[in-house]
Amino acid sequence: MRRAWFVCEGCGEEHPAVELYRCPACSGELNLRYDSAALRRRGAFAAHWKENGSLWRRFASLLLQEDEAQIMSLEEGSTPLVCSDKLAARFGVNALHFKLESCNPIGSFKDRQVSVGMSKARELGHTRFGTASSGNVAASPCPPTPRVPAPAPTCGSRAASPRPSASRSRSTAPSDS
Ligand SMILES: [Zn+2]
């Protein structure tokens, strides 16, 4: 049973979720689709998504990683969710929450996609990585502490500076900022 597959934005053709970057039929962009009914039947996503921990623990049932030994992670994810009473009052809503993605290992929400992408690439046998970004996508593959497993990735650009790590604990405590 297939867990996920690509659907072409251009022609609507479906393709297996393998190493494809464009639709082989029309070069259209590919979007990933999941068998959500099968996901519900298995129950793994419902059982783990509320857990505190890296995206690899919480969302494993959605990720297409087959070989866990190739996962390259600095425990991305589980960034704090804080609420701002002042801004909630200003906008006239009961509560306003902010997800602090700057608490990811390299300070960006891009850390999540880089961990997933590099891990899958390693599984597919790739050992060198590059980015076309001069921002936080470029910084994320090159953390001060390399993601495991070794060898560390080869990077093409590193324009953005990593930020010091902040508290990784999940919090819903009110915040005035
Ligand atoms: Zn197509």
Distance from the CA of 9 to the center of ligand 1, in angstroms? 7
HEC sequence for 17-55: CCCCCCCCCCCCCEEEEECHHHHHHHCHHHHHCCCCCCH
CA distance 50 to 83: 18
**In angstroms, rounded to a whole number, what is the distance separating the alpha carbons of residues 161 and 107?**
9
**Whole-angstrom Cα distance, residue 177 to residue 170?**
17
What is the CA(137)–ligand 1 centre distance, in A?
27
Rounded to whole angstroms, the Cα distance separating 177 from 168 reads 18
Query: Hey, how many other C-beta atoms are within 10 angstroms of the C-beta on 8?
Result: 20
Cα–ligand 1 centroid distance for 13 (angstroms): 6
pLDDT tens per residue across span 45-94: 888 888 888 999 899 888 999 999 999 999 999 999 999 999 999 999 99
pLDDT in tens, 109-163: 999 999 999 999 999 999 888 888 878 888 888 776 666 654 445 454 444 444 3
pTM > 0.85: yes or no: no
Distance from Cα 23 to the centre of ligand 1, integer Å: 5
Ligand 1 mean position to 26 CA, how many Å?
Answer: 4
**163 vs 42: CA distance, rounded Å:** 38
For residue 18, how far is its CA from the centre of ligand 1 (angstroms)? 15
What are the tens digits of pLDDT across the range 153-171?
545 444 444 433 433 333 3
Distance 30 CA to ligand 1 centre (A): 8
